[in-house]
Structure 1
Amino acid sequence: MATPLDVQTLRLVFESRPDILANIQRTADTPARTTLFNDIASFVYERLGSGDSQDGPASKRRRIDTTQLPTHPQPNGQVHERGLPAASQTVGLNADAAVADPVLLEVKDISVTAPHRKKYDICFTKQFLYARASGTSVPAQGVVYLWKDIEHAFYLPVPDKAQAQYNYVLLPRDSYLPTAKQASTNPAGRHQPLEPLVFTIPATAPKPGGVAGPSSAAAEAVSDTYSSLFHWALTTSMRSAGNHSCQLVASDPKLFHSVARQPHRPNEKAVHVKAFRGSKDGFLFFLATGILWGFKKPIMFLPLDRIVAVSYTNVLRTTFNIVVELDTDVSGDADVVIEKEIEFGMIDQEDYGGIDETYVRRHGLADRSMAEQRKAKRELAENNKKPVAGDEVAAEEGDADGLTALERAQREAEQQLQDEEDELEEDYDPGSEDDSEGEGGSSGDDDDDDDDEAQADYDEDEEEEDDEAEGLGN
């Protein structure tokens, strides 16, 4: 019986070189060659997995956690178990599924800065968004995203550029909250989340021939600029894939802008401030849905509904620091440890007023009581995404009162808060009022006694008059 070509292992080894994989598949036309290619692929893969390879610097070696793959039969009949990390297996499966999903739209020569810094073609399919090197047919490693997994999307100007450029930032689930150092290692078998996707576009129209695919004709109507094209493509693709919760959020100078003038574009208001995260410099964007830190790795996003409080430290004559306290509860993943406090330093003192008054206080981020309400709304929204069996129709269509499940839950939460306030008012019993009420009660009792005495005197007078009348009558 001829040994089949181990395509799965070959794909993992030569993921970045699809041309080599294609040549192997084409020339593996005899049992001897097939066995040779399988042995080569197995050897290279095990070397990559063990980390023993001395070729190249250690920073470029591929780190692999070991879990069990399905067994592969060998020519000698023995079973050989090959380790494959759960994350790599998931990425590989996503890449295979993405290749099988027809490309609907392709935008060529886009500068990607995360997770890799390279020019790629951005491909849109029905279920996936991925990047691939020009002239290839397979996605770049780690740059494959399911539309349904994208939780946040942003459109932000690139700071410190003479020519206007913009970044699209797409954050898949579990990729943007700061995790504690002790949780940075990936336990065997645990899914490793994808990194955020960041790519840069100019403020110009796409180049001729830069847009391809079956949907390119429809894209022509919105291709006046790269921004209008990607706004349309991203929003349409997410909605078509059933992702209705993610909204494309742009920075807004009316919501927040720095008072510092940009030396490169002085007539344009800066919607960011410079800051440091430890020793790493970057930019803070104060957005409608939260605070974003970019654009160097690790990109971080702190949603408003996870912020417990914002405070200030190291306030000096020219700079100050911001400390953001987070709600560390993460539903569904006990292994993830979120950092409790995140500090951003060396922020220009001129921006203190704009940050504190325009953003922090407007959103109630300095008020801890507001944090509980934000947390409740987040939990209600998460619960609304997971309807209980039998409640799907009510969640989608609403009940007879015309409210959705989320609106009804919010109303119940508000009613519960009102009931608690009413109970507190009923139990309110100040001491000063007790004294005055007691005195008032004594005065009332005295009045009642006086009335009783007066009534008794009146009755006695009536009896005497009656006696006198009887005497006269006799």
Structure 2
Amino acid sequence: MSGTVDYSVIDRGFEDNLRLRKLVYSAIASTPQHASLFEDIARYTCEIRNRVAVSTTQVSADGGPAQKKRKLAKDTADPAAGGNSPLLAGLNADAELQFYTQDTSFAMPQRKKLLLEVTRSTEASAAGSGYLRARNQVSKEIEFGVPISEIQHVLCLPVPEKTQRQFNFCIIPKYADGVTPAPAGATVFEPIIWTVPDGPPRTVFLGSGTSAMESASLAETYESYMQRMLNERLKHTKVICPSEKEFVSPVPEAHRKGEKAYHVKAFRGSKEGFLFFLSTGIFFGYKKPLLFFSFDDIESISYTSVLQRTFNLNVATRSAADPDKVEEIEFSMIDQSNHPGIDAYIQKHQLQDASLAVARRAKKLNINGAKGGDEEGGNTGNGGEGEESELQKAHRELEDQEEEEEEDYDPGSDGESDGSGSSSEEDSDAYEYGNQGGGDGRNLVQEELGSEAEDVDIDE
């Protein structure tokens, strides 16, 4: 009889109380004849929750602003032609779960605790790939989601500046990277971000209701377990994590001493965020809009506003849909200590460095004539002699300019001393005093002292 138990009903009925659900599973295992009773109790619990949710919605509609239902995706297809309705319909369809996580803290597109679900592939699902979706734990409605086949990038990144170690899983669907425009007729799903702690997967369960802690190894955490489960579902891409081989910031984590920081703090306009330099591209988050620059979309990278402590990083992108259109996005106020690592990353992946391009130098430095075009504007990439970076060239040119100024400096133009050869402060003060108001090179101090000495001799 235990084989006929509908465990999905049990999970939904007792999902808010993990301890009680475990007791129900134990009771069913010891007394299988009571399984149908527990199923009825679980169904009744779900009905009560639905009634409460409906009544709450009605009160809001009568006594206050109505609750808005979030759009699952932006369908740019022609509604008369039906759009891509199968993609959207599959989100709400009942499907077997591969795994789900209770009380998942989502940061995007909503800041809310929801039930994270990953469904298995079915013939009815779009492209037979299943879905990743978020379900309201009270009303049981699907808040948002994305088909597995529509996911383009999955990133697992540490959360910076937190006392407790945490990780963000970032799901970036097609045309949702903030860089690539969506073609006409495409359904665009929103990026999804949820946060997991650094610890054993206590709230993760398999589709059968089995706790992930029972099937996972003792060393597995939320991070490693979800990476493994998502990689099993993702056939066209994999979960990408930061690596020391790509980039590590020399700025230590102030909140967690001893840990390496894989992020760089930067501003896009007035919005503060974090840059991550990954094996597949450059990511900027965690505020809307998210940006992910894959290597195929990057036209060039350049450094601007190079100061003693900070510099700006400009990323120029060119879309495959419109090759003639180049868009440049600037990230400002990056700590100067991060430059060597960023520059090594750019050279490693052979990204074009356009810091000293002719157009940029003419615009920024107002250089004209042969000097701007012939002497300094020839190198537009990182293929110069010795592979010297453009920021290093800028520093070298500044040093050369300072050396030229020192060579042109004539110490005799400020006047000469009294010939004593002393460099003490007293001689300098006497020299300055003696030259006040004169301007003809006479030593007035010596003249005054000499006249006083003559007067003394005459008196004697």
Is TM (by shorter chain) over 0.5?
yes
Give the alignment of 1:61-460 within 5 angstroms. 92-96=88-92, 99-126=93-120, 127-140=130-143, 143-178=144-179, 190-207=185-202, 210-214=204-208, 216=210, 220-222=214-216, 224-238=220-234, 244-330=235-321, 340-356=327-343, 358-366=344-352
Amino acid at match of 2:293: L
Structure 1 CA distance, aligned partners of 2:94 and 2:88?
12
Deviation at 1:68, TM superposition (A): 7.9
Percent identity over the alignment?
33
SS at match of 2:188: coil
Amino acid at match of 2:327: K
- Normalising by the residue count of structure 2, what TM-score does the alignment of the two structures yield? 0.55
Judge conservation of contact 1:65–1:85 (CA < 8 Å) in 2: no
Measured on the aligned residues, the alpha-carbon RMSD in Å equals 4.0
Structure 2 CA distance, aligned partners of 1:340 and 1:250?
27
Structure 1 CA distance, aligned partners of 2:330 and 2:76?
35
Judge conservation of contact 1:64–1:85 (CA < 8 Å) in 2: no
Amino acid at match of 1:104: Q
Deviation at 1:211, TM superposition (A): 2.0
CA distance 1:200–1:57, change in 2 (3 Å): closer
1:50-98: CA deviations, max 9, x gaps?
A: xxxx94899x99999999868xxxxxxxxxxxxx9958x56742323xx
SS at match of 2:296: helix
Judge conservation of contact 2:282–2:292 (CA < 8 Å) in 1: yes
Structure 2 CA distance, aligned partners of 1:367 and 1:297?
27
Count of aligned pairs between the two proteins: 290
1:183-235: CA deviations, max 9, x gaps?
A: 8xx99x8444111111110001122x642522736773326311122012111
Amino acid at match of 1:170: I
CA distance 1:63–1:194, change in 2 (3 Å): closer
1:223-256: CA deviations, max 9, x gaps?
A: 6311122012111122xxxxx2201111012321
Structure 1 CA distance, aligned partners of 2:207 and 2:257?
39
CA distance 1:115–1:90, change in 2 (3 Å): farther
Deviation at 1:326, TM superposition (A): 1.4
Amino acid at match of 1:267: G
SS at match of 1:235: helix
Structure 2 CA distance, aligned partners of 1:198 and 1:135?
21
Judge conservation of contact 2:155–2:239 (CA < 8 Å) in 1: yes
Structure 2 CA distance, aligned partners of 1:63 and 1:251?
29
- Normalising by the residue count of structure 1, what TM-score does the alignment of the two structures yield? 0.54
Judge conservation of contact 1:109–1:210 (CA < 8 Å) in 2: no
Structure 1 CA distance, aligned partners of 2:75 and 2:233?
33
Match of residue 30 from structure 2: none
Deviation at 1:151, TM superposition (A): 1.1
Judge conservation of contact 2:273–2:285 (CA < 8 Å) in 1: yes
Match of residue 455 from structure 2: none
Deviation at 1:177, TM superposition (A): 3.4
1:6-44: CA deviations, max 9, x gaps?
A: xxxxxxxxxxxx9799669x9xxxxxxxxxxxxx9xxx9
CA distance 1:66–1:248, change in 2 (3 Å): closer
CA distance 1:232–1:65, change in 2 (3 Å): closer
Deviation at 1:158, TM superposition (A): 0.3
